[in-house]
Structure 1
């Protein structure tokens, strides 16, 4: 039976008090000793006792995991496993292997094979619980946001990028923000934006037409990533903020630069052991954060002064102004933080999903043909519209399969804000729970032996019939914190893919290098390059 950490702490305290009693006749030494005692107890409690208590509570339930070091937990081992994996692995030429988890997150895969689908590990003084069991993920769906919230240490690391907006906040602030933002993404409102999505996609198609003409008039090689980012940025800007991408170009560019810096400082295990101390920021982060905040606020004030039709930006601003708990500075931060969240989530994640979609369709031209046939049936005049987009089954199946194999968000991360249970597991307050989405999405026991293959037909009868437990299909998250923009993202992807496939046929360029990379989201590390050919009318 493992000895309780509290007993060890008690003996340590007795030893220190005995020393203080012995030196009681020496006031200065006593003062120094008491100061040393206070600091020692604080460090002892923060770095060893509390993490050890949490680990002990988890381990006594029969949950095992790798042994941590004193100050850094399992972070050094994670770095070591990652370095060995990067050295040993390489994505080979034209071969496209869809299972990238063992390359991007080799420590999670190694421990999963060693300890099973549930294990515990630590980074610094944070204790984590890895859960990749379908029944327990289903249970997580049913937990309130007051029980499982966003991990505080991740929020701290990503605050320059996302602030305390909807994606990272907890409690009252999260509930207020969701109440404001979620209704703007209900399907009845999203349908009103389909025409502007198609207009943005037409701009992209015209650009590719010009590239074909410039490269001889037959075909062209295109690096799609930046064009898809421009398309997605244009949609989110016009739909939510009443402006075009050209006006928000500086904001998007600086957000991408900030994303690159934050991604290089991995928040999965790159934490200092003294995580309770303020961390010195990368020299570029503070200036980028200030520039982004200033640009967004200038756009907000310009919008406030105009008499244009009310949009999401104005809804956020009004809510901030009308909330009695906020002063002027709080209102500004509330507005700016949520704009950053919407710019990032509505732009980068959707553009990345579109890139993966074109990569997989380039590999599987038969699905281009199926989408094209359905488009011709629904739009005999060749003009896509809101009604036809919402009826397209083939493109919906393709997008769902793309999101299964390449979900932009790799993890569901939660922190127990109070003592709670996930199935049979007691989760102590303060423990962070992690679920690796790609592993669930490729589990042969749930999806069949072809789980690693691109087969959109598995979604022919909807998500509920695609696998044994549909609750594990979670490209947009789980439970109360399900992504509010999922309707917009799905319709936007359908509009872009349908229009592109209706105008072009395409295949993968010989220059394409399959290299998924984790940069806050899983994106094509070296971009997606395709060879396009204009379809004959």
Structure 2
């Protein structure tokens, strides 16, 4: 008998492996669906290979509503299938992507129970670890178990308020170039003109995170931030929930090659920063990360991966989410001039004579704090919270099988009329006048920085940065909507303006 050609053998082996994988995935998915449906959880009927992804695309095409400038509920354009299925099946339902079974939860009691689950019960989904690897590496944002616990214990102390007090001056210094740049633009335009504020605010926030965490300015890290921004767009275009067609992600397509190229470029740039840092005496977050790699006895490529993964996570999460919140803040203040005037009057009083801001001054910025909180309610940067049941777990009266992906749409919770009242879709900062606990019932329906053990470690820094920047901007400029602004929020891992944020800015 003649020997089979090597290519034929390879194809046979590949087909057997794929058959095994498909069988395992289909069997696991069917078992999860059966266990949940026996307990009364309903949802749309999936197909074998694509789950409900084709239906999701059909719903989006049929139900997509054109956004208007004062429409804050973007769920109807970005995730209309979630709204339709909640209306059809209730606040808890299951749907499939072919490869994943997703339990969508918007019931307040079950959401509360998610926060009570331990990190060993609920963790970051493994599929996110794979699909976001280029952007986050093996850093804190994708890990579970002992690795996650070690890295969180390592980095969380760097973001306590006592440490952040010393960062306020660095934030102020990073804000100065933006103020001077806008003043120069407006002086040349007669005092008022249109500025696309989003790129400026991204650069500012990148400068802040570079200074406070890595002891450098934006100029040195500019290439890193630009490459990460390109990576963010490239990764977000790769639909992470496309069912079993996700296996095609492992083929060397043009898009995958571009992601890998950007990933390697970011890696080399961060390695250059690390080499420079090793010759300095800076005692900042980068030093903590470098020492942390040595603390868990990593060597060579493993140590590099540890450091680079955490640097990428901090570069991206530290500036991307804060920048997009600044952008939405200015849009909402431009659209609501009465609140802009209230916030400006408060900032002018506290920053009288250009006084240096400190923690006590920031605590007195009550109205600006309310504006930020309301912006985070209407436009939480990370709209979807995803967790995976790492073991069989009980939530309320529901037994959730291991491997189930649990999804919470923050925007859905943040605009739930039962929790927030009939004006839930409106910009009303005064709802936070007596704090978060009094703004909604129950209080855990507000979760811009996450929920439970994995709450964002950088929330204190983000709030301080937002207060400092808004206070300085409002005392120098006024903002009005631009007729060129097109309200079209898009999902690029964060929720951001689809066509930029042009505003009419006037120098005061």
TM-score by length of 1: 0.89
Pairs within 5 Å for 1:57-206: 57-86=35-64, 89-92=65-68, 95-206=69-180
* Counterparts in 2 of 1:525 and 1:365: CA distance versus 1, 3 Å: same
* Counterparts in 2 of 1:406 and 1:342: CA distance versus 1, 3 Å: same
Q: Is this contact kept in 2: 1:390–1:491, CA < 8 A?
A: no
Is the partner of 2:109 in helix, strand or coil?
A: helix
Is the partner of 1:434 in helix, strand or coil?
A: strand
* Counterparts in 2 of 1:279 and 1:430: CA distance versus 1, 3 Å: farther
- Structure 1 residue 339: Cα displacement: 0.3
Q: Is this contact kept in 1: 2:98–2:242, CA < 8 A?
A: no
Who is 2:3 aligned against?
A: none
Is the partner of 2:94 in helix, strand or coil?
A: strand
Which of structures 1 and 2 has the bigger CA Rg?
1
Pairs within 5 Å for 1:257-268: 257-267=230-240
Deviations 1:492-527 (A, max 9, x none): 001111110011111111111111000011001111
Q: Is residue 433 of structure 2 the alignment partner of residue 455 of structure 1?
A: no
- Structure 1 residue 391: Cα displacement: 2.3
Q: Is residue 395 of structure 2 the alignment partner of residue 422 of structure 1?
A: yes
Who is 2:343 aligned against?
A: 371
Q: Which runs of 5+ in 2 are unaligned?
A: 1-11
Q: Which moved more, 1:326-335 or 1:449-458?
A: 326-335
Is the partner of 1:272 in helix, strand or coil?
A: helix
Who is 1:18 aligned against?
A: none
Q: Is residue 24 of structure 2 the alignment partner of residue 51 of structure 1?
A: no
- Structure 1 residue 450: Cα displacement: 0.6
Who is 2:270 aligned against?
A: 296
Who is 1:467 aligned against?
A: 440
Counterparts of 1:342 and 1:332, CA distance in 2: 15
Who is 1:8 aligned against?
A: none
Counterparts of 1:219 and 1:500, CA distance in 2: 14
- Structure 1 residue 40: Cα displacement: 9.0
* Counterparts in 2 of 1:277 and 1:523: CA distance versus 1, 3 Å: closer
- Structure 1 residue 178: Cα displacement: 0.5
Counterparts of 1:434 and 1:47, CA distance in 2: 19
Q: Is residue 421 of structure 2 the alignment partner of residue 443 of structure 1?
A: no
Taking only aligned residues, the RMSD between alpha carbons, in angstroms, comes to: 1.9
Deviations 1:313-352 (A, max 9, x none): 011001101212x222111100000000001001111100
* Counterparts in 2 of 1:378 and 1:107: CA distance versus 1, 3 Å: same
Deviations 1:3-54 (A, max 9, x none): xxxxxxxxxxxxxxxxxxxxxxxxxxxxxxx999976973563142221111
- Structure 1 residue 125: Cα displacement: 2.4
Who is 2:312 aligned against?
A: 340
- Structure 1 residue 155: Cα displacement: 1.5
Q: Choose from 366, 381, 388 the match for 2:353.
A: 381
- Structure 1 residue 80: Cα displacement: 2.0
Q: Is this contact kept in 1: 2:420–2:440, CA < 8 A?
A: yes
Counterparts of 2:433 and 2:368, CA distance in 1: 11
- Structure 1 residue 196: Cα displacement: 1.4
Who is 2:242 aligned against?
A: 270
What is the total number of aligned residue pairs between the two structures? 494
